Amino acid sequence: MTFERYGTMNVNEAGHLEIGGVDTLELAKRYGTPLYVYDVALIRERARGFKQTFAELNVQAQVAYASKAFSSVAMYELMAEEGLSLDVVSGGELYTAIQAGFPAERIHFHGNNKTLDEMEMALDYQIGCIVIDNFYEIELLKNLLKERKTKIQVLIRVTPGIEAHTHDYILTGQDDSKFGFGLTNGQAERAIEEVLGNADVFDCIGLHCHIGSQIFETTGFIMAAHRIMEQLIVWHNKLGFDSKVLNLGGGFGVRYTEEDEPLEPEVYVREIVKEVKKMALANGLSIPEIWIEPGRSLVGEAGTTLYKVGSRKEVPGIRNYLAVDGGMSDNIRPALYEAHYEAVLAASPLKEAEETVAIAGKCCESGDMLIWDLPLPKSSAGEVLAVFCTGAYGYSMANNYNRIPRPPVVFVEDGVSRLVVRRESYEDLVRNDLPLY
């Protein structure tokens, strides 16, 4: 039997699944389960791929890691090492980035409801730019900047009215969205006028849009780039506005299962650049700097979760449930989005499947299922199951439902493993609780 390998994944001499040159059974033994394992070489490869493509095409660019996909000090250090910029969406992500020593000038702050405290924090740290999302925010930030007699670079987030081909819950580019200013309904133009009218505090460097997530085609990006460039021509003539930066967000798809056929990340970049250049040249505009914000495509496939198999329940004529020692507390995506995953037994990833099982989590909820139909060799309690492609929105959406402590995170590279997030303890769980009396 074969399985789809990601990054440095390999089957070692003992026949075990190996990642980054480290035996996953050793990892499970050393750090316990559940355990998130990240293949650092694969993350580096992806980061370099995006950057190199821009360099080859000879355009000014920034590749900002959308850190909502997985945020931790070590991950920020890694992204800084690779020369990426950073997209943060909360005070918590910003704080973590600063703790990691991430260069503040390469941090971009997103969000549809940044609080006053978060804005102040962003100004205190002198981050690179704030992505303005709505009129309330223009007012809030304007007053704050005037008070402080300072100025900051901003991007205006627009919704170009394009629906990306993906799961409904994670669409953000269409008109009916909580994010950004509508291009078609005139709100974006009002926002630009407002921001340009306050040039003493706002240095408006450009526009931003994000059309969705887990997108497998370049069409949506090309349409978005085209639509925005069209609008920029109008604003160039009407408002004298020249966008130095065009940020087209993230959303590049990854392979969760054999049904997914993602493009090479570089393909998106090439197509986006082609469209922007074409539009700029045809209309006498200078080519803006192109920024992108990949999250999932940088870290998704690099993550694998190791679980230990526990109880087994056989429902005659229906299905066999195998329960693992984690579930929706460390990966809520199947429950929330009906997301699909593939997995193997870490001790025998090449062994022929002998049955189809349903992988259940251990949470008190029927919907806590990780995989509904997984072909697997016969397994017994205590064996390690490796679930692939859990690197994005796994740990970052983990929770303490049923007071289950969050698992640790390990980075593996060149035969060495490094603990980068500790396992939560029971003490951690009660740390913020106060007694009744």
Distance CA 16, CA 5 (A): 13
Would the annotation count 163 as a binding residue? no
CB-nearer residue toward ligand LLP: 96 or 379: 96
Would the annotation count 296 as a binding residue? yes
Distance CA 129, CA 289 (A): 14
State the burial class of residue 268 (Cβ atoms within 10 Å of its Cβ: 0-12, 13-18, 19+): buried
Would the annotation count 365 as a binding residue? yes
Which amino acid is present at 425?
S
| Binding interface with ligand LLP (CB under 6 A) | 66, 69, 87, 110, 170, 172, 210, 213, 249-252, 293-297, 333, 337, 392-393
Which amino acid is present at 168?
D
The tokens for 131 are: 């992505």
Residue 281 beta carbon to ligand LLP: minimum distance, rounded to whole angstroms: 27
What does 291-311 look like in DSSP terms, one character per residue?
EE--SHHHHTTTEEEEEEEEE
Residue 171 beta carbon to ligand LLP: minimum distance, rounded to whole angstroms: 10
**DSSP for residue 13:** T
**DSSP for residue 323:** E
Would the annotation count 182 as a binding residue? no
**DSSP for residue 94:** H
Residue 117 beta carbon to ligand LLP: minimum distance, rounded to whole angstroms: 21
CB-nearer residue toward ligand LLP: 227 or 296: 296
Would the annotation count 294 as a binding residue? yes
SS3 at position 317 = coil
Residue 88 beta carbon to ligand LLP: minimum distance, rounded to whole angstroms: 11
Would the annotation count 337 as a binding residue? yes
CB-nearer residue toward ligand LLP: 349 or 394: 394
CB-nearer residue toward ligand LLP: 110 or 114: 110
Would the annotation count 293 as a binding residue? yes
Would the annotation count 393 as a binding residue? yes
* Start-end of H helices in 132-196: 135-148, 187-196
CB-nearer residue toward ligand LLP: 321 or 401: 401
* Start-end of H helices in 290-419: 296-299, 333-337
Residue 317 beta carbon to ligand LLP: minimum distance, rounded to whole angstroms: 34
Single out the catalytic residue among 209, 363, 364, 389.
364
CB-nearer residue toward ligand LLP: 392 or 398: 392
CB-nearer residue toward ligand LLP: 39 or 293: 293
- 364 is a catalytic site residue: yes
Residue 392 beta carbon to ligand LLP: minimum distance, rounded to whole angstroms: 6
Q: How far is CA 33 from CA 385, 390, 419, in A?
A: 10, 14, 13
Q: Is residue 5 a contact partner of residue 301, using CB atoms and an 8 Å limit?
A: no
Output 268-272 pairs: Cβ under 8 A, ≥24 positions apart.
268/218, 268/221, 268/292, 269/50, 269/53, 269/54, 269/57, 270/53, 270/57, 271/218, 271/221, 271/222, 272/218, 272/221, 272/222, 272/225, 272/248
Residue 379 beta carbon to ligand LLP: minimum distance, rounded to whole angstroms: 28
* Start-end of H helices in 253-332: 265-282, 296-299
Catalytic residues: 364
Q: Specify binding-site residues for pyridoxal 5'-phosphate.
A: 251, 293-296, 393
Q: Specify binding-site residues for substrate.
A: 296, 333, 337, 365, 393
Q: Specify binding-site residues.
A: 251, 293-296, 333, 337, 365, 393
